[in-house]
Amino acid sequence: MARETTNINIRMDRDLKENAERLLSEFGMNMTTAFTIFLRQMVRQGKIPFEISLVSSNSSNSSNMQARKLFKKSFEDAQVQSVLNGTDNMNLDEINAIINEVRRSQ
């Protein structure tokens, strides 16, 4: 049985949207999929699924460290999800096959 869907309208900076769409395309997904992933993680975790903080703009080292921490946290979250989804034993060829399948279906 298909789930009922709804539309959401979001206003954002045009450049941000275009840059995000380019990056998401490289991941083999669209904006809808990305927002759905974000919202599912938020609901599962009961919080925003990443750290939000003020970072001093004059410290590139601090920004770099923050980016590394965020990447590490994202990677750890992905590892947990792969165990929960039963995909933690997939090899790179299997992962790439799924990515290519999703890209072809869009």
Q: Where are the domains of the chain?
A: 11-49, 55-106
pTM here is 0.48
Whole-number pLDDT of residue 14: 93
Query: How many C-alpha atoms does 103 have within 13 Å on its Cβ side?
Result: 11
Per-residue pLDDT of the chain (106 residues; tens, 9 = 90+): 668 989 999 999 999 999 999 999 988 899 999 999 999 999 999 999 888 776 555 556 677 788 888 888 888 888 888 888 888 888 888 888 888 888 898 8
Distance, in Å, from the CA atom of 100 to the CA atom of 102, rounded to the nearest integer, reads: 5
Whole-number pLDDT of residue 81: 84
Question: Both ends of the chain: CA-CA distance in Å?
Answer: 22
Whole-number pLDDT of residue 41: 93
Nearest to 98 by CA among 28, 36, 24, 25: 28
Nearest to 73 by CA among 93, 47, 92, 106: 47
Whole-number pLDDT of residue 35: 92
